Amino acid sequence: MSQLQETQQTWRSGLRLPAIILMAGLVLFAPAFVGSYSLHAVVIAMIFLLPALGLNLLVGYTGLLSLAQGAFFGVGAYASALLSIHFNTPFYVNVVSAGLISGALALPLGIPALRLRATSFVMCTLGFIVIGQAISKNWISLTRGDMGLSSVPKPYFALGPWSFSVVSTAAYYYLALAVAGLAILAFYLIVRSPAGRNMIAIRENETLAEAVGIPTWTYKLIVFVLSAIFAGVGGSLYVHYLTVVSPLTFQMYYTTTILIIVLGGGVGTISGVVFGSILFVALSEFLRVAPEIRMIAYGICLLLIVFKFPKGFAPVIDKVWSALGGQRA
C-alpha cells in the first residue's frame, strides 16, 4: 500500500463519527432550516415508516407477502379517531390502543389466512383491504361513511396540572421522530433476538425450519400480529396529524406506497427501509408540482430504481458506510 493510500485511509476512517454527528444534527434541527412543506413531507415519511417496518418484518424476515398493511394502518387511524372524538382520550392512550386494536384484529384474520400457501395468502390479505374499505364506507353510524371523520384533535399530553398540545408541523415532526425512533428500536430488538433468527430460517426454507423444531405457523402468526401493531401505530400518528380520516385510507395507494418503501428501500434491512420511506414519500410529495404527470413520473422513477438498484438502497448505504470507515467497499 502506498503512503498516499494509507494517509487517505486514515483520513477517511475518521469520517464515520462526523457523519453520525452531522446526520443527528440534521435530524434534530431540521425544522430550523427546512421549509414547512418539506418538513410536512418528512413527517408523512416518518409516519409511513411504521407500517413499512411491519411489512419488512413480514416480507424481509419471514418471507410472507401481505397486502393488508394498508388495512391495519386504516384500522389504527379509525380506532384512534373514534377514541379521541368519543372519549376524548389523550394521544398516548390512542396510539397504544390503535396498535393493540390492529394487532388484536390481525389475530383472528391471521389464523385462517396463514394456513394458506404463498399466493393464496397474498390474495387473502388483499381481501382484508376490500372488507376494510366496505366497512368504513357502510357502517355509517360509526364511521360516517364517505364523509369520514374530521376534527380529530391534535395530540395533547396531560401530566397532572401541565398539558401540552402538538399543533405546529415542527412540533409534530419531533413527535413523529420520537415514535419512529422507538419503532426502529423495537424492530431492531425483534430481528436481533433468537426469534428474528427463526424468522429468517422460515424465509429461507420453511420445511427445514420445521425440521429443526421451529413451530413455523406460530411464528408467522406472531409476526403478522406484530406487523399489524406497527401499522396501527402508524395509522394513529397519521390521523392525529391530518385530523381527518376517510375510507380513502383503505385505497390501494397506501398499501402500494408501503410496499414500495420496503421493496425499493431494501427488503430485510433497517437502513434501506428508513431511506426508502424518506425517498419515496418525498418523491411522491415533490411530484405534486406537476399533478398531470405525477403518477406517470412516479412510475418511471420506480422503474429506474428497480433496474438500477434491484436490491434496494441498503447495499448502497452499506457501501457509503464502509467507505466512511476507510474500508474499501
When the beta carbons of 235 and 268 are compared against other proteins, the nearer one is 268
Which of 80, 97, 133, 216 binds other proteins (CB under 8 A)? It is 216
Read out DSSP for 293-315? THHHHHHHHHHHHHHH-TT-SHH
Q: How crowded is the C-beta side of 190, counted as CA atoms within 13 Å? A: 25
Read out DSSP for 185-214? HHHHHHHHSHHHHHHHHHHH-HHHHHHTT-
In angstroms, what CA-CA distances link 274 with 212, 246, 277, 312, 313? Answer: 33, 27, 5, 12, 10
Residues forming a β-bridge with 163: 158
Which of 59, 71, 214, 270 binds other proteins (CB under 8 A)? It is 214
When the beta carbons of 138 and 218 are compared against other proteins, the nearer one is 218
Which of 8, 120, 168, 205 binds other proteins (CB under 8 A)? It is 205
The rounded distance, in Å, linking the Cα atoms of 98 and 236 is 6
Q: Does 159 bind other proteins (CB under 8 A)?
A: no
When the beta carbons of 61 and 241 are compared against other proteins, the nearer one is 61
Which of 44, 58, 114, 201 binds other proteins (CB under 8 A)? It is 201
DSSP 8-state assignment for residue 34: S
**Burial group, residue 86, by CB count within 10 angstroms (0-12, 13-18, 19+):** exposed
In angstroms, what CA-CA distances link 262 with 66, 70, 120, 189, 310? Answer: 12, 13, 21, 19, 12
Q: Does 106 bind other proteins (CB under 8 A)?
A: no
Q: How far is the CB of 115 from other proteins (least distance, A)?
A: 13
When the beta carbons of 195 and 302 are compared against other proteins, the nearer one is 195
Q: How far is the CB of 188 from other proteins (least distance, A)?
A: 10
Q: Does 318 bind other proteins (CB under 8 A)?
A: no
Which of 108, 207, 307, 310 binds other proteins (CB under 8 A)? It is 207
Neighbours of 10 (CB within 10 A): 10
Q: Does 130 bind other proteins (CB under 8 A)?
A: no
Q: Does 255 bind other proteins (CB under 8 A)?
A: no
Listed ranges 51-59, 207-215, 272-280, 284-292: which one lies at the site for other proteins (CB under 8 A): 207-215
Site string for other proteins, 177-196 (x = CB under 8 A): ------------xx-xxxx-
CA quadruple 54, 178, 92, 186: dihedral, nearest 10 = 40
Residues in touch with other proteins (CB under 8 A): 189-190, 192-195, 197-198, 200-201, 204-205, 207-216, 218-219, 222
